[in-house]
C-alpha cells in the first residue's frame, strides 16, 4: 500500500507543477516581484524568523519556503515531487534567495536532510491529507527540531471534509472515515486545466488525531487556533474578503482552517 500511494501521489503532484506555475492562484510573477506568499495570521503567529533555521515539509515549489527566507530565515524545503523541487531551485536562483530544496518522502526527512535539526519546522496548508500515518509524521517532526524549537502548522480544518460541497452547511460525509480515499479527478484546485496524471490517494485526519500525535511525539502544544476563513472557494456559496473566503454574513460561522504551534523541550 505504501509504495502504491507514494507512486500515485508523486505522479499526480508532478503533473500539477506546470499547471500551478501558470495559475493566478500562485501568482508566480507577483512573487518574483516581491509578493509574500504567506497568510497574515501565519506571520503574526510564527513571529520574527530572522537568523533562524526553518525546514518546510511538503513545500511544493517553494513559494512559502522562499517567503520565510525573504523574512530572514535560513530555509530548507522538502517535497515528494522532484518536478516541484526542480522548479523551487530555479525560482530561488532567479530571485537570488538562498535556499536548499530536497526531493524526498516526508517520512525520510531526517535522513534526506543529513541529520540536520532546525529552530522551526513549518508545514503549510493542504499537507496532512497526503500522509497515512500521523504518529510517524509527528515523530519525524520531533526528530528535526532543535531543543526549544517549534512546529508550526497551518491547515484546512478537518471538519470541512464532512460538509456538502455546495453550501458547506450540511454534514454529508463521515468525519471519522480516514480512508485511504482514491480519487480520479482531472483538475487541480487552481483552475480547469486537465492534469496529465489524475489519480491521487488521500487520508483524512481529525483534529484530535493531529493534536494527539504531536503530543505523543513529546511536543508541548502552545496554541491551537481555529479560523473562519479559507484560501479558496471550497464551497460554492463562500464570499471573498481581504482574508480569503467565508460563509455569507447571515450564516453561522464554522472553522475552515486551523493553526497550531507546538514546542520541543529545551533540553
Question: Would you place residue 1 in the very low, low, confident or very high pLDDT band (cuts 50, 70, 90)?
Answer: very low
Please report the pLDDT score of residue 3 as a whole number. Answer: 56
Instruction: Give the strand pairing for 100-103 and 74-79.
Output: parallel
pLDDT tens, residue by residue, 145-203: 999 999 999 999 999 999 888 888 889 999 999 989 998 988 888 878 888 889 999 99
**Number of compact structural domains in the chain:** 1
pLDDT tens, residue by residue, 10-42: 999 999 999 999 998 899 999 999 999 999 999
Please report the pLDDT score of residue 220 as a whole number. Answer: 98
pTM value surpassing 0.75: yes
DSSP H helical ranges for 113-194? 134-144
Give me the domain span that covers residue 130.
2-263
CATH number of the domain enclosing 248: 3.40.50.150
| CA angle at 162 for the pair 161 and 163, rounded to the nearest 5° | 95
Residue 106 · residue 140 · CB < 8 Å = yes
**Mean pLDDT computed over 86-104:** 98
Amino acid at each position: 500500500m505504501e509504495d502504491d500511494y507514494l507512486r500515485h501521489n508523486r505522479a499526480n503532484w508532478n503533473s500539477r507543477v506546470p499547471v500551478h506555475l501558470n495559475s493566478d492562484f500562485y501568482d508566480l510573477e507577483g512573487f518574483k516581484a516581491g509578493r509574500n506568499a504567506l497568510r497574515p495570521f501565519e506571520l503574526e503567529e510564527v513571529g520574527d524568523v530572522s537568523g533562524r533555521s526553518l525546514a518546510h515539509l511538503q513545500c511544493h515549489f517553494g513559494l512559502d519556503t522562499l517567503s520565510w527566507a525573504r523574512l530572514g530565515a535560513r530555509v530548507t524545503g522538502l517535497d515528494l515531487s522532484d518536478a516541484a523541487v526542480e522548479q523551487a531551485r530555479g525560482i530561488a536562483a532567479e530571485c537570488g534567495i538562498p535556499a536548499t530544496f530536497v526531493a524526498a518522502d516526508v517520512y525520510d526527512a531526517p535522513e534526506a536532510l543529513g541529520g540536520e535539526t532546525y529552530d522551526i519546522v513549518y508545514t503549510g496548508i493542504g499537507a496532512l491529507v497526503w500522509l497515512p500515518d500521523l504518529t510517524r509524521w509527528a515523530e519525524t517532526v520531533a526528530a528535526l527540531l532543535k531543543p526549544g524549537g517549534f512546529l508550526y502548522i497551518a491547515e484546512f480544518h478537518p471538519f470541512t471534509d464532512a460538509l456538502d460541497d455546495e453550501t458547506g452547511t450540511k454534514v454529508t460525509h463521515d468525519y471519522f472515515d480516514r480512508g485511504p480515499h482514491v480519487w480520479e479527478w482531472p483538475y487541480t484546485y487552481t483552475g480547469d486545466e486537465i492534469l496529465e496524471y489524475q489519480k491521487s490517494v488521500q487520508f483524512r485526519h481529525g483534529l484530535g488525531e493531529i493534536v494527539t500525535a504531536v503530543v505523543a511525539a513529546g511536543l508541548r502544544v502552545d496554541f491551537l487556533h481555529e479560523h473562519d476563513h479559507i484560501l479558496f472557494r471550497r464551497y460554492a456559496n463562500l464570499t471573498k474578503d481581504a482574508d480569503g473566503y467565508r460563509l455569507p454574513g447571515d450564516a453561522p460561522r464554522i472553522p475552515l482552517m486551523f493553526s497550531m504551534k507546538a514546542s520541543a523541550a529545551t533540553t
